[in-house]
Structure 1
Amino acid sequence: MQVFEYPQKSDWAKLLQRPENDLSGLFNTVQDILNDIKANGESAAKAYSEKFDGYAPETLLVSKDEMDEACLQVSSKLKEAIYMAKLNIEKFHQAQISPEKIVETMPGVTCRQKSMPIEKVGLYIPGGTAPLFSTVLMLAIPAIIAGCKQIVLCTPANNEGKINPAILFAASLIGVKNVFKLGGVQAIGSMAYGIESIPKVDKIFGPGNSYVTAAKQLVSLKDVAIDMPAGPSEVEVMADESANAAFIASDLLSQAEHGIDSQVIFITDCKALIAEVQEELSKQLKTLSRKEIAEKALENSRIILLKDKNEMIEMTNEYAPEHLIIAMRDEDEVADKITNAGSVFIGNYTPESAGDYASGTNHTLPTHGYARAYSGVNLDSYIKKITFQKITAEGLKKIGPAIEVMAATEQLDAHKNAVTIRLNSLK
């Protein structure tokens, strides 16, 4: 990791740049695949599955027998862990249900807002170097709680036509029945347009590689909604002299192992802590099965020494990390001053891994600084809100003249007349 000591504020933006992940070169390739799937449906999707994943299933839908067989292959220990995570994720997301509120804005004028589930949602679960069964929990549980009528899950099979058993167990446990053996751009296109086996959905959720990211961006232009812009994973750790260097290194590496384009940032006001963390990084890195990936990611990563806590907070809010870990003496006070972050992990005993798996919060979060404007996936991500209003005759007499004046000022005569004709009928 590159080390920078007491940088000038004018240099912060450059220091906090993410690794370049230019998708423009992919767009033509991805658009061609999407066009083919839109025109030729399932035959095209299967052809791309064979080309990119080395397997073209005769039937895309995972059968009940396959689901049952996969469930038998998952160890009891992992099943117990997944079940615990399920309960926590359910509890946290159920707490996000908000009651309908009816407001009388003035006598005779009643307004209300009603939450309605998005009817058809598509969930994309990566299945490459790290099959993310945890993402099944994070995406499907809130969809179930929201009341989405149709949940479609796509995940790639390996070249033998098998899906990671833990992915299928998680889907089965939650109650997702429509699981399809399809990955990459072909999965996104199939859910966006609809093919013979896979229905068109209204919104697509889930992470993926640069091809999946480009596909989601392209289909979102006019065909389907998506959860959020997504990019390489990232974490920032804020720490002072009270922090544990081994803990910090483990958190940095846990994010670095996601991919070579992941980024980790460590900021501190304690110079002595830097050397301790570097030593721990070197020690822990040697034990990782994904060592080469983590090493590459660390090349895009930085350690930044700042003057004090206030600078650390200011830089953090400028960076707007996907994940933020606060390992500081006054951790709760610092956390209250964070305005831009996807998810915040407070204290020495709160690893980012907890949010990735089992604490209850959602791990599908905004990256690349989008935390300045986007929330992570939550119950509202699966909900649309419809407003209603009802005005009585007496209410129209009170509010009508104001509407007439405003409409006339905007030179929208028909708008004004819609009120005037009603008011005249009441005279």
Structure 2
Amino acid sequence: MASRAQDDSSAGYQPLFKSFATDAIHVGSEPEQWNSRAVVPLISLSTTFKQHEPGKHAGFEYSRSGNPTRNCLERAVAALDGAQYCLALASGLAATLTITHLFKAGDGILCMNDVYGGTNRYFRKIAAEVGFDVSFADLSKIEEIKAALKPNTKMVWIETPTNPTMKIVDIQGCADIVHEHNKDIIVVVDNTFMSAYFQRPLALGADICMYSATKYMNGHSDVVMGLISLNRDDLYERLKFLQNALGAVPSPFDCYMCNRGLKTLHLRMKQHFKNAMAAAQFLEADPRVDRVIFPGLPSHPQHELTKRQCTGCPGMITFYIKGKLEHASTFLSNLKLFALAESLGGYESLAEHPACMTHASVSEDERRELGISDTLVRLSVGLEDEEDIIADLDQALAAARMEMK
């Protein structure tokens, strides 16, 4: 049994995954794989590898199809996801594109309606235009899942928590319904927000777990990358072919950097959770805030589901500031510790305005339906001192309050 020191933030969640930190540090980093017995995986920049004889190589032939440094990363991520396989791609959207290439024009794709703006844009403006039958539904509601499945549905795309309104999808419940409808439908979970430390979708019935590793998995805002984890041999062979054939692979240096980030994932996620809980509690008690959405708060409508499904919560908070667009803008412009920037999951705290930034490509009507209003603010709470995080939020709220007078 994995041990954990209980505190207010961690109480009631699923047990931590056994040997997570040990696997993060050692799997894929074994010194014995190198002639030099290097403790830290080497960065193999070679694009090509000498063969024993024509058509017979020693495991690698060309760096698009496979690279020693990328192999180290893929092995480590597979272990952390409880998976047999992992494939690294050049970005989260490259992973999305690669997965979608498993299917053909005319096939149905059912996607969670509240997803990352780039995912929404890809499915609506690219996949749909080349012939995929793309539909969206609130997959956090069982009745909507059942109603949205079609005879031609081939893939169901879940994002949980959703971006930016932090809805939680019951992965096991959704996967059971989908596979009962048709066992051949591929259930994909975008696990970017939770990371491998807080959630294992494959253990909950998903066929594929994917990430924008740019976020928590790397954790340092210095790598753009995507990851795909899975257990099925047939899907792996097809995706491995697509990884090579499409060619959207990360550089060896980026693989090295992401692998290095994994070594502290367990430490970072614990602190993200602790800091985010403190910030969420502060915001929820503040009269200058209309509503806070954070799965770690008992007020979150799916708080109990979160505890049944996850080992904790990431540093993502969404809240509605009182007032109008100008008050949200004043708040964001006056933050000093939080940087006004897109992305999330780095060690530094970030704040953004989804309606104008990450979800600007989503139509105004759709944003309104999803609750992405002009007063919605998304925070990625970093690893700074808790008191400094709260002080920055407080002074920026005070500046926005002055705007109301």
Tell me the TM-score normalised to structure 2 length: 0.25
Higher helix share: 1
